[in-house]
Amino acid sequence: MDDGRGGGRRETARELWVAFDGWRRQRPFWGGTLLIVAGLLTAYLPAAYDEFLLFAAGSFTGSALLFGGSLVVCGLLVFAVPSLSSVLGGLGILVATVSLFGALGGFVVGSVLGGLGGVLAFAWTPPGERDASDDR
């Protein structure tokens, strides 16, 4: 049913977007996304700019990779197991806070984004529970 103007592609894109939107609404999407972005920033920034720091080269690189990897894993698990979002969100907040001391928290930006993502994941409730609490 393609009329030559991309109507079939547009319809396919619309169907994919509807499917993605349904998937996104079933999990703490923004909390997990912010945790992943925070993990990438926490791991990358200290490793990339350690020659500009006044500390010994490589002193923050190992811990930056550890904390950044932990935040990325928390974000991915929030997507994979939304029922554990409160536990993983709390763990994300803890790792983001500790990364301030161990890896400069991705120059604080990663730590702030990790804390925000952890709060969003912690506060998320499944759509069925949200509807039930509105009826009370």
Residue 59 has pLDDT above 70, yes or no: no
| pLDDT tens digits, one per residue of 7-25 | 789 999 999 999 999 999 9
Q: For 108, how many CA atoms within 13 A lie in the half-sphere containing its CB?
A: 0
Give the pLDDT confidence score for residue 46 in this predicted structure. Answer: 76
Q: Mean pLDDT score of the chain, rounded to an integer?
A: 85
**Cα gap 72→117, rounded to integer Å:** 11
Percentage with pLDDT > 90 across the chain:
58
Return the amino acid letter for 41.
L
Question: Has this prediction a pTM greater than 0.75?
Answer: yes
Task: Name the 3-class secondary structure at 71.
Answer: helix
* Helix residue ranges per DSSP H, the chain: 7-25, 29-48, 61-80, 85-103, 109-123, 127-134
Residue 132 has pLDDT above 90, yes or no: no
- Residue 32: left if φ>0, alpha if ψ -120 to 50, beta else—which one? alpha
Measured in degrees and rounded to the nearest 5, phi and psi for residue 79 equal: -70, -40
Residue 51 has pLDDT above 70, yes or no: no
